[in-house]
A and B are shown apart, each in its own frame.
Chain A
């Protein structure tokens, strides 16, 4: 009996949706986790996962029933997307997910948040934000590829809530998350939904996702 592939931990949190663990998704993760994968391939295959993630995330937005006339003169009972949306990426790694969002929503507005670890307190600290003026009226897709400790994502959600966005209208999209990070996040940000590609085994002693894929931003932008 051959060993089976490792799939995501099943979500026990009602706020957390894990993308369907299909063979091709696992194959994509296998490539981006591989330390020997070159940056070109890392970018390409990450983008494919991001697009799948965005498609899944968009399914959590509201729709309404609508009837439309078809080219064959029959009426089609369909669905119409409702509500304005915007993307907010947590710099720098989150910006890697912007193209995937644009591939699905052409003219989507995108805000940015820069959060860095404060050298003195070791706590995440907001350094910069640029968000759409009417963000409180929009559904927000918060983009950050890795949910490790949850620290920066929680700070980002606090920024959004301070701008008047209800927690229920925030969707946090990430590729890989940890049970520890999710636990901290759902306690700190009740009502916010998480869409993740994969819940990994754990957070290691260096506060990295394990097995994870290393530093996403470095691998996507630099190495």
Chain B
């Protein structure tokens, strides 16, 4: 057993499990042409959140050999048998998604009957809709489904829709399309797919036309999201475990926490920034000045090695060299206030962005957008934000970095203001090895005002 493994029992108060580590998975099966895809899209459209995704069986066809490919073009290859699909990969992808991991999904080209080089990353999904004729077929996959839906549309209608799609959109001729339907699609449906209706939780007759059933499904998913939101919030507020083996440790005294020295200048700058009467021009100037100090301080939170250099006087000097390159990740929007100051100190550093928006009413954070710098997992990462009040966004952002391969001790969370009892405690309780650099420690709740005033919006 490696020493870096965390004992599982510490969970609840120590570990943060984001909502995407336990996604709600819905399987939608039905005959080809039954309207599965439309039902799935309809649900997705109604939810209208980036953390609900459709996983289609269409991307999991097995690559074909030249001989198989030839048969496929002659409409003699059976795409509708379970053997045509790479169910092992699909089960594996689903398993990884259910553990909250980032997954790259192949894209399948029907023109080449092969996987293309293009992959689609899927990460952070709270709701996964698995859609395909065999969605309820494989035992391993069924075990991972929270809701099993079967779309039961009359086979004549299925055939009419399928023929139209094959001829109009996929450039097949009528004869070929009919041949496929009669020899593969229909017999396979009767043999493999229809029996799976037995295990469905919900059967939707008439597919997309059945608006009542679809509304019920949408409401079910929305209810599930509400429950998940409540659990997520509870989990965030429960992050309050022991830190460094103690329950009541002053987080500011931890070796991986650096609070900017409160010099006269720093306190003077706080006064200007906190003053409601300060004009925006002055506010921007002094915030950027303080952020330069913060970033310089954050540069101390990384390992250095000894380096001897020759000087112009001929006497060598034994100095230091940072061991890692530095990159930055800004939590949008607060963290983007760092941009100008960051460029002053690290002009060519790569900057990633994470948009985490908190629900205005509940404060629950949601991951909306993610773009990380190349090779960031081998660099010192300055994770920037201006105000950490509940710590929710920071806790989530750090989870995202770790999920993508970052090393905990190489992450340095830099923020101007941080609430000591909540934000700092939660972050350090969930991630005891993360470095934290704070400009000013707050004891009471303060509304977010820094980015609002900096941007004027």
Contact = CB atoms under 8 A, between A and B. Distances in A.
Interface of A: 2-6, 20, 22-24, 26-27, 29-30, 33-36, 44, 48, 51-52, 55, 58-59, 61, 63, 66, 68-72, 74, 76, 78-81, 103-104, 106, 201, 204, 208-215, 219
Interface in B257-291: 261, 263-265, 267-268, 270-271, 274-277, 285, 289
B322 A68 contact: no
Interface string B319-336: 111100000000000000
A69 B275 contact: yes
Contacts of A27: 299, 304, 319-322
A120 to B, nearest CB: 28
Interface stretch (B158-166, B185-193, B309-317): B309-317
B271 A214 contact: no
- Give the secondary structure class of B's interface: mixed
Contact of A55 (B265, B275, B320, B447): B265
Interface centre among A20, A34, A36, A208 (most CB of B within 10 A): A34
B300 interface: yes
B276 A4 contact: no
Contacts of A79: 264, 267-268, 271
Interface in B191-211: none
Contacts of A44: 347
A34 B293 CA distance: 25
Given A27-B304, A33-B309, A211-B315, A76 B265 contact: no
Contacts of B309: 30, 33-36
Given A23-B320, A212-B312, A68 B289 contact: no
A6 B449 CA distance: 43
Interface centre among A36, A51, A209 (most CB of B within 10 A): A51
19 contacts: A4-B306, A5-B304, A5-B319, A6-B318, A24-B300, A33-B309, A34-B317, A35-B312, A36-B310, A48-B345, A59-B263, A61-B264, A72-B447, A103-B292, A201-B315, A208-B313, A211-B311, A211-B313, A215-B312
Which 8 interchain pairs have the tightest Cβ spacing?
A: A78-B271, A30-B319, A214-B312, A24-B299, A68-B275, A34-B309, A211-B315, A76-B274
Contacts of A76: 270-271, 274-275
Contacts of A215: 312
Contacts of A4: 306, 318
Nearest to A204: B313
A112 to B, nearest CB: 25
A203 to B, nearest CB: 11
B353 to A, nearest CB: 25
Contacts of B293: 55
Contacts of B446: 72
B296 interface: yes
Contacts of B228: none
Interface residues of B, number: 45
A211 B285 CA distance: 37
B453 interface: yes
B307 interface: yes
Interface centre among A3, A24, A209 (most CB of B within 10 A): A24
A79 B264 CA distance: 7
Nearest to B318: A6
B276 A70 contact: yes
Nearest to A22: B300
Contacts of B447: 71-72
A5 B264 contact: no
A33 B320 CA distance: 12
A26 B319 contact: yes
Contacts of A80: 268, 271
Contacts of B265: 55, 58-59, 81
Interface centre among B289, B309, B447 (most CB of A within 10 A): B309
Nearest to A63: B264
A204 B312 CA distance: 13
Contact of A214 (B275, B311, B319): B311
Given A27-B304, A55-B293, A213-B312, A33 B274 contact: no
A63 B316 CA distance: 42
B316 to A, nearest CB: 7
A92 B345 CA distance: 25
B318 A5 contact: yes
Contact of B320 (A26, A34, A59, A78): A26
